Amino acid sequence: MASIRLNSPAGKWLMASAILASSMAFIDGTALNVVLPALQKSLHATGEDLFWILNAYLLVLAALILMGGALGDRLGRKKIFMVGISVFILGSAACGFSPNVFYLIAFRSLQGIGGALMIPGSLSLISSSIDDREKGRAIGTWSAITTVVTMGGPILGGALADAGFWRGIFFINVPIGIAALIVLWFKVAESKEEHPDPRLDYLGALSIAVGLALVTFGFLRAPSKGFGDIPVIAALGGGVLLLGLFLAIERRTAYPMMPLRLFSNATFSGANLLTFFLYAGLGAAMLFLSLNLVQAQGYSQLESGLTFLPFTILMITIARFAGALADRVGPRILLIVGPFTAGVGMLGLSLVGLTNGPGDYWTTFFPGFLVFGLGMAFTVAPLTTAVMSAVSDDFSGTASGVNNAVSRVANVFANAIFGALAVWLFSGALKGLLSGMEPSVRAAALGQAVDLGNAHVPPTASFTQATEIAKAYRLGFVQTYQTILRIAAGLAWLGALMGALFIRNKKR
């Protein structure tokens, strides 16, 4: 039974360690979105490379996070948490020194291993240690502070990128991680399952890891090679088969990394479905918002980061209150209204066309950011509370791992599918915008579509043609962004529907 009070010294130190480590992982994700344009130029990365830089981390994280949660429950949550933080620090430092795209992708994978061991630990420590009456408030506090720090990531990333030091987003993890390790070592007690299962589900981990990798590879290769390409067909088909095999393994093994019986609880199932749809939409929206602001709208990377401030302020003022409210009235109504409101915000952002730059922000992007942030502020803490309250403390690490895995899988699929869709939409938009141009120059311009907003004007174009092509690139990318944000809004509304259909205000 959970017994630590939130305001006790032990509770405060536990929260501090969980927040520090989680913030390290979340800052890395949001800051990276903002510095992608600078990274793309510095490392001469293609559009496909960008999605692999994002997905290398997410893939490994999604594949191993269930194992990380199970290891924490069995071997000690604090112990595995600290191992994960240490590996994440090493991966982050290596990313900062990466000389090219290949090394960066490889070291992002190492970060993913650390994250898989680290991320479930924060919530499972909170859920298994904090008094039941304060669990929602504790999770709300965790959500509010980590999200505030997370949304500071774009500002930090933008400032570093504009200063020519985008690598700093990786180095900043080192002191944060060391501080978390010190707090855990000296101030936080160990927590683990009393009667742990003796074996681990290595076959399940392998099948989901390779399955996700193959599906992602197929979607990332498809824009340049087409869906009729043999490797694309083989990757997508093999990936789907392996993911099906993963479910079969989990159903039959005596010691599953993802016990399917947890999904017999409607609230647990509904919360994870909500997570999948909402975070797929959220991942796509955040990525293409950042790229659109810098590559089409003319914002500096710091200005792009600052546009997320309304989101941060709303999380500061609302998220902890939303967690406490979920304790009192239950999470159901919040998990209907919150995702729906977030979707309305995404729809509002999708209506913004080509603007005159940062001077137009308050009348163009700001209203959408405000509504988007309001919806997420009322969703994050109640969603986590619903997941963690649907299972017993013995499965807190596994439940946290499952929910985090679902959100990361959603991001992987969002990056892969929306990346492929973006190239296709951008190519289609350019064909229409450049329909009257000389065929050879037009073909050269269309060949740049795989680089999305970083597309370069062909050197063979005349001055007049170059001006027309540059304008077409901006307009085409904005049209692509608008379509993707509308799809993202639809995904958020699907999440709200899952909340209405499945979430119930009952305890374990």
Residue range 178-188, pLDDT digits in tens: 999 999 898 88
Alpha helices in 296-395 (DSSP H): 301-306, 309-329, 334-350, 361-364, 366-377, 380-389
Residue range 303-321, pLDDT digits in tens: 888 888 887 788 778 877 8
User: Per this entry, what is the length of the chain?
Assistant: 508
Alpha helices in 163-300 (DSSP H): 168-171, 173-187, 202-225, 230-252, 266-295
Separation of alpha carbons 241 and 368, rounded Å: 40
141: Cβ contacts below 8 Å, ≥ 6 apart: 6, 15, 320, 323
Tokens for 5, please give them: 């009070």
Alpha helices in 365-462 (DSSP H): 366-377, 380-389, 396-433, 439-446
195: left (phi over 0), alpha (psi -120 to 50) or beta: beta
* 68 has a pLDDT exceeding 80: no
pLDDT the model gives residue 339: 96
Alpha helices in 44-134 (DSSP H): 47-75, 77-96, 101-129
Beta bridge partners of 4: 130
Separation of alpha carbons 115 and 60, rounded Å: 9
The residue with greater pLDDT, 387 or 490, is 490
* 383 has a pLDDT exceeding 50: yes
Q: pLDDT above 70 covers what percent of the chain?
A: 92
105: Cβ contacts below 8 Å, ≥ 6 apart: 49, 52, 53, 56
**8 Å CB contact between 339 and 379:** yes
State the pLDDT confidence band at 205, using cuts at 50, 70 and 90. Answer: confident
Q: pLDDT above 90 covers what percent of the chain?
A: 25
- For 164, the 3-state DSSP assignment is coil
Q: What is the mean pLDDT of the chain?
A: 83
Positive or negative torsion for Cα 29, 33, 36, 39: negative
The dotted CATH code for 9-201+253-425+478-502 is: 1.20.1250.20
The residue with greater pLDDT, 294 or 497, is 497
pLDDT the model gives residue 360: 92
* 88 has a pLDDT exceeding 70: yes
Residue range 413-442, pLDDT digits in tens: 787 788 878 888 888 888 888 887 878 888
pLDDT the model gives residue 508: 43
Name which of 496, 482, 251 is nearest 375 in CA terms: 496
Name which of 372, 353, 375, 373 is nearest 364 in CA terms: 353
pLDDT the model gives residue 248: 92
State the pLDDT confidence band at 1, using cuts at 50, 70 and 90. Answer: very low
pTM: 0.78
pLDDT the model gives residue 43: 86
State the pLDDT confidence band at 244, using cuts at 50, 70 and 90. Answer: very high
Tokens for 502, please give them: 């499945």
Q: Where are the domains of the chain?
A: 9-201+253-425+478-502, 202-252
* 327 has a pLDDT exceeding 80: no
Residue the block writes with tokens 């374990």: 508
- For 159, the 3-state DSSP assignment is helix
Residue range 25-56, pLDDT digits in tens: 777 766 777 787 788 878 888 777 887 887 78
- For 4, the 3-state DSSP assignment is strand
pLDDT the model gives residue 223: 64
* 298 has a pLDDT exceeding 60: yes
Separation of alpha carbons 307 and 288, rounded Å: 13
Separation of alpha carbons 477 and 217, rounded Å: 23
Separation of alpha carbons 415 and 494, rounded Å: 18
